Amino acid sequence: MSTVMHSPAAMNGDPLIIAGVEYHSRLLVGTGKYKDMEETRAATEASGAEIVTVAIRRTNIGQNADEPNLLDVISPQQYTLLPNTAGCYTAEDAIRTCRLARELLDGHELVKLEVLGDEKTLFPDIMQTLQATEVLVRDGFKIMVYTNDDPIVAKRFEELGCVAVMPLAAPIGSGLGIRNPYNIMTIVENATVPILVDAGVGTASDAALAMELGCDGVLMNTAIAGARDPVLMASAMKKGIEAGREAYRAGRIPRKRFASASSPIDGTFF
Amino acid sequence: MHIILNGDQREFPDSLSASQLLQDLGLTGKRLALEINREIVPRSTFDSHIIQPGDRIEIVHAIGGG
């Protein structure tokens, strides 16, 4: 076989399934903070991501009528768009945003729900997020929810009907990596819906660690867009995700305090 | 008539449909969503939906975000 068409994950029949749809990439990427549309396009392509987040904002009225449109480079035909509610601090604003996104994207129901509590940390406001979840689930939305790394809260979102639960690794855009791996592991072990780390990863090893902990995927933006070379970092993240997933499936060796020789003791001639 | 468009006070002729408003703004055919007084106006009703004086109108689109 001269050409490998699919990633090993896809070849091994290890798809990520969200709301009944199979994906072969476990890396989800945002489209914010890039220097221009071309860099957005190139980095998104290099990441191999199939699910891509977008924000919903006011159209500029009367200025730059011909400015490039994000959806010209991130085509809804090519990618599964995941509109987010970034910037919302109340359940009401998040619900409005999801409804506008659904209209904008012709009835598309998959959304990333985030309701923020504080500008300094961008930590989620769990009470508001729970309220929004109840309304949006009744309204037919398929919710991937941004939450903190609390296993009790994560389970609650699952019980309310979220199609994926996305605990943060660290504050949005911080690049601090996974600050609470034991909680992430507990959330994964308790879950029957996909668990994705959303926010806080800084580099490829952070993404690999999330996958080694058993997460079903990772969603990131700043770690790629803010890298010195975003396209190269997108490629690195893709590999980190794949390596971490394979390592998780392969089953790592237990940690031991002392050595264990790799070469046999028997048959030595000295 | 006076309306509030994406947070700004604006003047438009009376009896304007949503389609005509978008045309006046050079937004015809763009991928956007329209909300008037916090209610979604479906694209299929743009021709028949008449803008009322004092309406609070939001026109949104997708941009880069994480």
Length of chain A: 270
Per-position b or e across A184-197, b if 16+ CB within 10 A of its CB? bbbbbeebebbbbb
What mean pLDDT is predicted for residues A85-112?
97
What pLDDT does A65 receive? 59
Residue A76 has pLDDT above 50, yes or no: yes
What mean pLDDT is predicted for residues A76-101?
97
Question: Does A112 participate in catalysis according to the annotation?
Answer: yes
What pLDDT does A13 receive? 85
What pLDDT does A61 receive? 86
For B8, nearest residue in chain A (alpha carbons) = A61
- Give SS3 for B52: coil
Catalytic-role residue among A33, A112, A142, A256: A112
Q: Which residue do the tokens 């979102």 mark?
A: A157
What pLDDT does A68 receive? 78
The answer to which of A55-69, A181-195, A234-248 has the lowest mean pLDDT is A55-69
Residue A149 has pLDDT above 90, yes or no: yes
Element of type H or E holding B3:
strand B2-5
Residue A166 backbone class (left: φ over 0; alpha: ψ -120 to 50; beta: rest): beta
Residue A4 has pLDDT above 70, yes or no: no
- Residue B49 touches chain A, beta carbons under 8 Å: no
Whether the predicted model's global pTM rises above the 0.90 cut:
yes
What mean pLDDT is predicted for residues A198-202?
96
Per the CB < 8 A criterion, the answer to whether A53 and A29 are in contact is yes
ipTM confidence score: 0.95
Contacts of A101 in chain B (CB under 8 A): 33, 62
- Dist CA A51 CA A78 (whole Å): 10
| Confidence band, pLDDT 50/70/90 cuts, at residue A15 | very high
Per the CB < 8 A criterion, the answer to whether A79 and A30 are in contact is no
- Dist CA A58 CA B63 (whole Å): 9
Compute the nearest-CA separation of B60 from chain A (Å): 4
What pLDDT does A6 receive? 46
| Confidence band, pLDDT 50/70/90 cuts, at residue A192 | very high
Kindly report the average pLDDT of chain A as a whole number: 94
Alpha helices in chain B (DSSP H): 18-24
Local confidence pLDDT in tens for the 66 residues of chain B: 999 999 999 999 999 999 999 999 999 989 999 999 999 999 999 999 999 999 999 999 999 999
Tokens of A178: 């996974």
Q: Fill in the amino acid letter for A133.
A: T
Per the CB < 8 A criterion, the answer to whether A149 and A183 are in contact is yes
The answer to which of A2-6, A43-47, A154-158, A176-180 has the lowest mean pLDDT is A2-6
Between the two ends of chain B, the Cα-to-Cα distance in Å is 38
Chain A stretch 214-233, residues whose beta carbon is closer than 8 A to a beta carbon of chain B: 219-222, 225
- Dist CA A95 CA A194 (whole Å): 22
- Dist CA A174 CA A168 (whole Å): 11
CA angle A156, A158, A160 (to 5 degrees): 70
Residue A169 has pLDDT above 80, yes or no: yes
Q: How many Cβ atoms sit within 10 Å of the Cβ of residue A224?
A: 29
- Residue A84 touches chain B, beta carbons under 8 Å: yes
Backbone angles phi, psi at A216, to 5 degrees: -85, -15
Residue A5 has pLDDT above 60, yes or no: no
- Dist CA A126 CA A35 (whole Å): 32
Tally C-beta pairs within 8 A across A and B: 100
Record: contact A69-B34, CB cut-off 8 A:
no
Sign of torsion, CA A74 A80 A86 A91? Answer: positive
What pLDDT does A1 receive? 39
For A96, nearest residue in chain B (alpha carbons) = B38
Residue A8 has pLDDT above 80, yes or no: no
- Give SS3 for B29: coil
pLDDT digits (tens, 9 = 90+) for A19-63: 999 999 999 999 999 999 999 999 999 999 999 999 999 998 876
DSSP chain A: -----S-HHHHTT--EEETTEEES--EEE---S-SSHHHHHHHHHHHT-SEEEEEEEEPPSSS-TTPPPHHHHS-TTTSEEEEB-TT--SHHHHHHHHHHHHHHTTT--EEEE--B--TTT--B-HHHHHHHHHHHHHTT-EEEEEE-S-HHHHHHHHHHT-SEEEE-SSSTT-----S-HHHHHHHHHH-SS-BEEES---SHHHHHHHHHTT-SEEEESHHHHTSSSHHHHHHHHHHHHHHHHHHHHH-PPPP-SS---SS-STT---
